[in-house]
Every structure is written in structure tokens, then in C-alpha cells.
Chains A and B, each alone.
Chain A
């Protein structure tokens, strides 16, 4: 039995944050129905990235929305609103990521939805919470990384603040939303009661920094000091970082500087025997190390360091990684098929249950592809007498 068998999710969300949460629920076996605007649908359908287009739609739309259904409805048209209300009656979860006020205007805010379905789990993501003038600000990943201090944790001290090159705040907010929804689905199994889950991208971005923010809150408000060379983590001592070698790059995590110096034959490093200096003189130590590692190849160094138990590794881009046996052994790639016959290669859920990798071959839905099926299944089609009345 699938983990979320027979759980119905009515998903009004768009782009990445909300849809990444419903992707997780779909992977667990929930029935996820995207409610989309007729004609255009989820704006992400047309958010092409890097010029890559699959069957007229963006590659990321396909990645985010595989294994879901699409139901188009004009939320300003009474007939469609009637159908959506019927669907909500049957739903376990209703979710959205509109700006505050939008669902209120449409009549699908929590209080209204709860009247339609008293045990519903209602989950929403905002950029900055639900109160205050900032609720009008766009809840966009780069802007949240910039506002929340995240950008000041990456790159070296002389460089601009640098964002993380993945939409990490969207992903985290979506993941937190999924956690909240799942916790209430569990509760509902015991008490029969649903409830409301709220996540904001700002809170998720701050939670992501919880370890280092806790330092900042309690060290008198000292800002993180990024390393001047080979930056890895503003709060971690030398040698932590990625280094250039004669032919490529290599990563070195926490290590004993003296031991490291002896292993790679760098007499200058061995002199730093006081552990305190490994943080205080981080940049000096890392500069010495960086110069020394240029003398030989990545393989040469790893062959010395790995057997000695030093935490080190190669640095791969996607081209290199996907050739590796270690990558292939994971079986992360899945090919999903859309109903109009397009095959899309993407990644599966990272979670394995009872020895089975969660993967499904259903591709992302065409816009409104499932309207008829859903009308029939949930008996929400326009009733014959209404048609007769016309």
C-alpha cells in the first residue's frame, strides 16, 4: 500500500515552492490535482530556463509537476467555482502559494474552505508572512536569499555577496510545507481534525541558517566573516574549502592541519601546531595549502589523503558526475511519459521505502488534461438540468 494512498490534494500553487511540496505528496502516493487557470495555467509552464523547451513547456515545469493531474477552472466563473467547491468537499489537503488576500477575494481562504470541508488541512506559503506592508513584496527566491542574509555566507570575503545557485528558499519552504501537511494528516488519523499550516519563505530561509544564526544571537552580534581564500563555510576553520590542483579541483573538509601537512609533504603547514590558529589564521593557512596543492594532480593528492582517513573528495560538474558508477548505482534518473507521448528524463524522489525507490512513470499533465476524468470521478460535472435550462 502506498504511504498516502487515497489522499486527495487540491493544489492551487504555482512555480516551485508549493508545487515542490505537492510533488513530495504525489511521490508518496497522494492524488494531486493542480487547479489551473484556463488558457495559461501554472505560469511555470512558460518559465523557460536556459532555453530548454520540452514539448512547448519548460523543462522545470516537467520536473516539478510529474505525477500530478491538471484541472482547469476559472475561479471567477460561478459554474467553475461550484465544481471546485465540490472537489474541496472531498479533499484531504487544499494548498496554495498566492500572495495574502488573493484567496480571500476568490472565496477560498481557510475560513471559507473550512465551511465547505470542516476536517480539511489547509496549507499556504507566502513570501513574508500574512501581515504587514511587506506582504505585497514578491516572494521570489533570489530576493529572499538577499533579504535574509544568506548571500553573505557564500564566496570569499572580497567578492560580492553571492546567492546560492539553486532556488533553495523555494525548495525549503516547500519541504517545510510538506512536513506540516504530513504532521496534520497524521493528527487527522487520530483525532479526525484537520487544521491550518502556514509557512513563509522568510521563516524557512532563517530556519536554514539556524546553526549560524544561533552563534550570531549569542556572540554579541558578530557578523559572519567569510574566508579570504578558498571559501567554504564562514564558521569553519582551515582547511575547509575547495582547492585548485595541477589538473582540476578537490574538496577538503575538517582536518588536522599538522597531520595534513605531513601527509602532503608541506613543511610550512606543519608549523601550525596550535589548534586555535586553524580558525584565527585561517586565511594564512589556506593560502599556504592552496599554493602547495597546485604542485600535483587531484588523483595524486586523493591517493595519499583518502587512505589516511582525511575527509576529501573530487569536485564534479553534472557531466562528470553522471558518468560515475557511484551515481549510476543510485538509479536516480527516471523517464516519465506525458499523455501525448513525450518522454522526459528527470530525477525520482530521494526516499526509499521498504527497499523500493519511489518512482512513477507519469509525466506532467497537459493543461486541463484531467477535467473530464475528474468531473466523472467526483461527479462534479455540470448537471444535465443546468444544460437543459440553457
Chain B
């Protein structure tokens, strides 16, 4: 199938997750993504294994992040290697990096340097905290960004300590923003012939993810507080959250309290009206939580769904994977590493012209494509 970014060449100096997750999306949309890696070890993510799972010499998670890419090794401190990389930059459409401020300047590959080689290039740079300000040299690590940006005070119950998301959300969302900026700049280039300097930071992306909360915070007199009972989203009133039942858990989203009272026969809710969902949020939720403990999940869900109220089961992956819903999504994507070895990961979540974008091309071995790239492009 014809992919929209066919023909574009992306040089990925980025490491770990934020920049490389952007490269993965560009690759799945059809770009040729070449990782520029140092000969000694390459992207450190190759050795950063989760749960000691490996494919050959590289961590399984490295494979998940870097499938469908090529690898070119170059020592950027070596004059000859640097010359080769500069030639490659002359042929490229996009360059990404996520080094700390100053690193690319020292090598001589800052945006202003690269612009002299290739004025059509779109140069995307991810920092932790921006290029100025007192935090610019702090380590740009996901948990630290969650902690600094207020995100840890959105999750878990009021009274609990701050609670991070259990995923690298800031890296992920920043990689997503990078793709957006890069693509928009490429669209302008079609008309102007000139590339762009796209700057992102993990902190700006983390704040942007919380834009509803920040905007509400700016205008709120009392501040935003997590619910003390089954907190789901600090902005939302009762009953929003996940509740324990006699045999499991169920989720209740926005719904009318009088209707909930009627459907689940919770007499104690008599004392509350729809106007109370914010002010008496925790009291209402405590009443609901106590009642839901008295029956199993399917008992409650049957009644809630029958009445058209927004409720659902709370799946773990085993339960999810058994559903027809999951099977219909066809998210699993098998990648062939070599003739004999393969593993399963997820595919690109975007469908184009009705087609799901599967790709069985593996992550590259370190320097696997150096010679080929020299022949084809240099």
C-alpha cells in the first residue's frame, strides 16, 4: 500500500523513548528512518531491558520502540565520521535529537550548523525543560517530569501521597507532539521550500497534556483537589471513578445521581441531588462505594448498562485479550527478527483508507545498515 510519508528520510539521533517513539510513528507512516548511533553500544536503550526480556543482544523494549528503522553507526567526535553524517544530513528531510542543551552545539550539529548544509531540513529537538531557565540542565526523565509538572497530583485519592502514572506518559506525549510539529513543518516546506526548527520539551508537553486542569486551576478559587474516594479525574464530580464490588471492580463515568439511585436502589442517595456532585462529591461516592460492595460486578453492570448509564468492567490484559472486542481491534503485530525468531508487539494505531498499518520489519542491529546507506546515499 502507498504510505503517506513515502520517500522521506529521517535521521534519528534520539535515544531512549521520547524521540525514538516519534521515529517509530514516522516509519509506520512510510518514512525511511535511520538511527545514527555511536559505534560503542549505540542507543543506550538497547541495553535497558524491562523484565530481562531480550531479542538477541538487544532489549525487547528497544525492539518495540525501534522496529521498522535502519541503523548507521558513526562516531560524531571523529572528523571523517562527522563528514559522512553531514553528507547524510544533506540528503535528509528530517533530523531528530533529544540530547541535553549544548551537546549538538559542541559536535557542530546545532540547527544553525545543519541549516548551512540543508535549508530544507526539519530539525526537531527535544529537551527536558527547554533551552533556558533554571531547570535546563536537569535530567529529562519521565518520573521526574511527572513529579514536577503536577501530574502526580491528578491520580490516586486525596489523602494518598502524589501518585505517578504507571507508564512513561511524558516521553510518549512529547514524541507525539514532535511528530505533529515535524509533519506540519513538512507541509509548509512543500510551499516555501524551507524547513523548520521544531523545539519541544518534556515539561511543555506534560503541561499541555494537563491543559484542561491548568485552565481550570487558573480560574478556580478553591483549587483542584482529587477525590478522597475512588478518584477518577480531579475535575469531575460524583460518581466518576473505579469501585470495588463483592467480586471485582467496575467503573462509573458521568451519570445522573437520581437515576443511579433508582437503578441501583441506593436509598441513602435520597439525601443528595444532581447539584451536589461537586460539593458533596466524596460523601456521595462513599455511599455508592459501600453499596457496590454488596453484590458482584456483573449484577451491577447488567442493571447499569440496561439503563444506558456509562459503566464498564475493569479488565486486566488477560480478561481484555479474551474479548471479541479486543480481537476485532487487531492490534497485535508480529515482527520477524530473522528467519527463525519473531515476537509480537502492537501496530500503529492509525488506520489509513481503511487499512491497518502492520509492519513485520524488525529493529536494526547496531550498524546493520551502515554500508548499505553509504552505497545508496553517500
A254 to B141, CA, bound (A): 9
- What secondary structure prevails in chain B residues at the interface with A? mixed
> Is A164 within 8 A of B165, CB to CB?
yes
> Is B317 within 8 A of A213, CB to CB?
yes
Given the interface contacts A52-B220, A154-B166, does A346 sit within 8 Å of B316 by beta carbon? no
A236 to B201, CA, bound (A): 24
Q: Is B209 an interface residue (CB 8 A)?
A: yes
Contact among A3, A175, A197, A318 for B184, CB-based, below 8 A: A3
A152 contacts across to B, CB distance below 8 A: 314-317
> Is A182 within 8 A of B219, CB to CB?
no
> Is A172 within 8 A of B176, CB to CB?
yes
- What secondary structure prevails in chain A residues at the interface with B? mixed
> Is A240 within 8 A of B318, CB to CB?
no
A22 contacts across to B, CB distance below 8 A: none
> Is A209 within 8 A of B232, CB to CB?
no
> Is B50 within 8 A of A236, CB to CB?
yes
> Is A165 within 8 A of B166, CB to CB?
no
Smallest Cβ distance from A91 to chain B, in angstroms? Answer: 16
A179 contacts across to B, CB distance below 8 A: 25, 29, 176, 179-180, 183, 350
B213 contacts across to A, CB distance below 8 A: 166, 318
B223-249, CB < 8 A from A: 223-224, 226, 230-237, 240-244, 249
Q: Is A185 an interface residue (CB 8 A)?
A: yes
Q: Which of B35-43, B152-160, B264-272, B370-378 contacts A (4 or more CB under 8 A)?
A: B152-160
> Is B204 within 8 A of A330, CB to CB?
yes
> Is B130 within 8 A of A60, CB to CB?
no
Q: Mark A245-287, 1 if CB is under 8 A from B, else 0.
A: 0000111111000000000000000000000000100000000
Q: Is A107 an interface residue (CB 8 A)?
A: no
Q: Is A176 an interface residue (CB 8 A)?
A: yes
> Is A161 within 8 A of B249, CB to CB?
yes
Q: Is B65 an interface residue (CB 8 A)?
A: yes
> Is B61 within 8 A of A166, CB to CB?
no
Residue of B whose beta carbon sits closest to that of A222: B51
A230 contacts across to B, CB distance below 8 A: 161
Smallest Cβ distance from B212 to chain A, in angstroms? Answer: 4
Q: Which of B74-82, B84-92, B95-103, B328-336 contacts A (4 or more CB under 8 A)?
A: B328-336
A242 to B174, CA, bound (A): 22
Given the interface contacts A143-B311, A164-B165, does A214 sit within 8 Å of B183 by beta carbon? no
Q: Mark A67-83, 1 if CB is under 8 A from B, else 0.
A: 00000000000000000
Q: Mark A202-238, 1 if CB is under 8 A from B, else 0.
A: 1110111111111111110101101000111111100
> Is A4 within 8 A of B184, CB to CB?
yes
Q: Which of A94-102, A187-195, A379-387 contacts B (4 or more CB under 8 A)?
A: A187-195
Contact among A184, A199, A253 for B349, CB-based, below 8 A: A199
> Is A231 within 8 A of B343, CB to CB?
no
> Is B211 within 8 A of A353, CB to CB?
no
Given the interface contacts A50-B224, A146-B315, A151-B314, does A346 sit within 8 Å of B211 by beta carbon? yes
Smallest Cβ distance from A236 to chain B, in angstroms? Answer: 7
> Is A332 within 8 A of B350, CB to CB?
no
Q: Mark B288-313, 1 if CB is under 8 A from A, else 0.
A: 00000000000000000000001111
On A, residues with C-beta under 8 Å from B are: 1-5, 7, 16, 24, 28, 49-52, 54, 59-60, 62-64, 128-129, 131-132, 134, 137-138, 140-143, 145-155, 159-168, 171-172, 175-180, 182-187, 189-190, 195-200, 202-204, 206-219, 221, 223-224, 226, 230-236, 240-242, 244, 249-254, 279, 311-319, 321-322, 325-326, 328-330, 332-333, 344-347, 349-355
Task: List 15 extra interface pairs beyond A50-B224, A240-B143, A253-B144, CB under 8 A.
Answer: A51-B278, A166-B210, A179-B179, A179-B183, A186-B187, A199-B349, A209-B346, A214-B345, A235-B50, A242-B162, A279-B51, A318-B150, A319-B217, A326-B129, A349-B208
Q: 3 closest A-B pairs (Cβ-Cβ)? A: A329-B133, A165-B154, A153-B166
30 A-B residue pairings within 8 Å (CB atoms): A63-B214, A132-B324, A141-B253, A142-B242, A151-B251, A154-B156, A160-B243, A160-B244, A166-B151, A182-B183, A185-B183, A189-B191, A195-B4, A207-B331, A211-B61, A214-B61, A215-B61, A217-B344, A218-B53, A231-B163, A232-B166, A240-B143, A241-B164, A242-B163, A314-B148, A329-B132, A345-B218, A350-B177, A350-B200, A350-B204
On B, residues with C-beta under 8 Å from A are: 4-5, 17, 25, 29-30, 50-51, 53, 60-61, 63-65, 129-130, 132-135, 138-139, 141-144, 146-156, 161-169, 172-174, 176-177, 179-181, 183-188, 190-192, 196-201, 203-205, 207-220, 223-224, 226, 230-237, 240-244, 249-254, 278-279, 310-318, 320-321, 324-325, 328-329, 331-332, 343-346, 348-354
